[in-house]
Amino acid sequence: MNWTFLLAEEAGGLFDFDATLPLMAIQFVVFAAVLNAVFYKPLGKALDERNDYVLSAGSTAKERLAQAESLAAQYEQDLAETRRQAQQIVVAAQEEAQKLSAQQMAEAQQMAQAQREQTQKELDAEKQSALSALEKQVSSLSQALLDKLLSVAA
Amino acid sequence: MLNSIPVLLSPILAELEVGKHLYWELGGMKLHGQVFITTWLVMGALIVVSLFATRKVERIPSGIQNLMEYALEFIRDLAKNQIGEKEYRPWVPYIGTLFLFIFVSNWGGALVPWKLIHLPAGELAAPTNDINTTVALALLTSLAYFYAGFRKRGIGYFAKYIEPTPVMLPINILEDFTKPLSLSFRLFGNILADELVVAVLVLLVPLFVPLPVMLLGLFTSAIQALVFATLSAAYIAEAMEGHGAEEHG
Amino acid sequence: MDPMIASASVIAAALAVGLAAIGPGIGQGNASGQAVAGIARQPEAEGKIRGTLLLTLAFMESLTIYGLVVSLVLLFANPFS
């Protein structure tokens, strides 16, 4: 019954503790220090720098986006304004044109009316004169007819 | 007792060796040479890859830098999830090194055909295959969480031993021993069990049949690296924030 | 070594792994079932549930591994040999 096998077994074995243990520990600590110098520090710095870069780039990009958005909004507003103005101009021009055309139409109608009235007057006058002439002729003609009839009868 | 099971059918595939070590002597102390060889290979590989990844750091990463950045972000997330946004940064190197070292060791042990290299004794395998490595890592984690607790809460750290009631004192003290024990034995047992299962299957059917088990082994060894790192981070966080932290086997 | 101790060790090793597999087996089944129910209820949380499930499964798995370690001790580093 050898209970001390864990600590000292002369022929090696599975649980053979010896100077390997402390040396491995020291070696590991040294290794960690070396890796800290050649791996964790430089690459960690690179990672942090990239993080900062990405963060700052993201914020500037966000700023620019906001700027572009405000610009776009302003343009939109300007555009709407201009469109409204154009609409107004068009409406005014239309109104004016309508007014003008209505005026001209009215004038033309008036003129036509006047001409028609004058023509009517002239016509009436001519008719009157024609009628009066005719009346004169009727009396002379009837006289002549009477004379003729009388002469035939006589 | 059965330190090695000789394989009758396939002597080329060596034998199932458990508990045999390549001994080095250093100042009268014994070292497990095969563990150190693979440990240095793993550490060297990690350092070389890191050097390549950071040789020319670019804002838009590509290739190996991308891979290592992914690993770093993964480790940072892990530490952040356990320790919290405010305190996690100083612990990233420790937890990350734990994860990377265990992960690369486990996968290196499973993927690299170490058996082709013959040693005078023992055989090359994952460093986490040796109880010394896992216990060393687990004890380092214990030290780390003691250090974290003391630095954060000073002598008041001992107050956690009598929380919620002084009756819990023995259990709380016992916990400090069970934590490294379970950590180290979990990792050691998983890796060793995986290698043993693969070895036994290779011994029985040397073709194709062990492949699914090998894939499962890759999966579990990756998970074990994650579990070790996560638990270390959780213990450190628990020591820093006092009571109320969750416990794990 | 004593054949009595050898046979007892082998039987104990087998029992250690076998018995240690019962509890975690039940636990893992439970956890997986709950996880599947959770995914069915909230398919959008699948990634998170799967990650947590794998982690907890590893914890339960380690209980069996403890039994395996005990049996490995009995087989390869037997203190009574």
Distance from CA of C42 to the nearest CA of A (A): 32
Residue B247 counted as domain residue: no
Q: Which residue is closest to A16 within chain C, CA to CA?
A: C77
Q: At what angle do helices C46-76 and B210-241 cross, to 10 degrees?
A: 100
Pull the structure tokens for residue A127: 């008719």
Question: Which residues of chain B fall below pLDDT 50?
Answer: 1-14, 244-249
What top-level class would CATH report for the domain C3-76? Answer: mainly alpha
Quick check: B185 contacting C, CB < 8 Å?
yes
Average pLDDT over residues C62-78: 83
pTM (2 d.p.): 0.73
Contact assignment for B190 to C6 by CB distance below 8 Å: no
Contact assignment for A13 to C76 by CB distance below 8 Å: yes
Give the model's pLDDT for residue B153: 84
ipTM exceeds 0.85:
no
- Whether the CB-CB separation of A46 and B70 falls below 8 Å is answered with no
Chain B adjacent subunits, 3+ CB pairs under 8 A: A, C
* Domain ranges (residues) in chain C: 3-76
- Whether the CB-CB separation of B181 and B138 falls below 8 Å is answered with yes
Find the helix or strand (DSSP H, E) in which B26 lies. strand B23-26
Q: Which residues of B touch C58 (CB under 8 A)?
A: 220, 223-224, 226-227
Q: Out of A68-77, B37-46, B114-123, C10-19, which region has the weakest mean confidence (pLDDT)?
A: B114-123
User: With left for phi above 0 and alpha for psi between -120 and 50, is residue B122 left, alpha or beta?
Assistant: left
Contact assignment for C79 to A13 by CB distance below 8 Å: no
Higher-confidence residue of B140 and C62: namely B140
Could you give the number of structural domains in chain B? 1
pLDDT in tens, B11-35: 444 455 666 778 888 777 888 888 8
- Which domain does B82 fall in, by range? 2-241
Interface test with B, best of C76, C80, C81 (most B CBs within 10 A): C76
pLDDT in tens, A101-140: 999 999 999 999 999 999 999 999 998 998 888 888 888 8
Distance from CA of C75 to the nearest CA of A (A): 10
* Cα–Cα distance for residue pair A60/B204, rounded to 1 Å: 66
Q: Which residue is closest to C2 within chain B, CA to CA?
A: B1
Residue B246 counted as domain residue: no
* Cα–Cα distance for residue pair B18/B1, rounded to 1 Å: 11
Contact assignment for A23 to B101 by CB distance below 8 Å: no
Residue B249 counted as domain residue: no
Contact assignment for B185 to C58 by CB distance below 8 Å: no
Contact assignment for C77 to A15 by CB distance below 8 Å: yes
Q: First CA to last CA across chain C, in angstroms?
A: 6
Q: Which residue is closest to B67 within chain A, CA to CA?
A: A43
Residue B165 counted as domain residue: yes
Long-range contacts of A2-9 (CB under 8 A, 24+ apart): A2/C79, A2/C80, A3/C79, A5/C77, A5/C79, A9/C77
Share of chain A above pLDDT 70, in %: 91
Q: Which residue is closest to B102 within chain A, CA to CA?
A: A28
Distance from CA of B190 to the nearest CA of C (A): 6
Contact assignment for B54 to A17 by CB distance below 8 Å: no
Q: How many CA atoms lie within 13 A of A81 on its CB side?
A: 6
Contact assignment for A29 to B32 by CB distance below 8 Å: no
Distance from CA of B8 to the nearest CA of A (A): 23
Quick check: B78 contacting C, CB < 8 Å?
no
Pull the structure tokens for residue C36: 């599947």
Residue B248 counted as domain residue: no
Q: Which residues of B touch C68 (CB under 8 A)?
A: 189, 193
- Whether the CB-CB separation of B36 and B112 falls below 8 Å is answered with no
Contact assignment for B188 to C61 by CB distance below 8 Å: no
pLDDT band of residue A3 (cuts 50, 70, 90) is very low
Average pLDDT over residues A16-32: 88
Interface test with A, best of C73, C74, C75 (most A CBs within 10 A): C73
Q: Which residue is closest to B28 within chain A, CA to CA?
A: A19
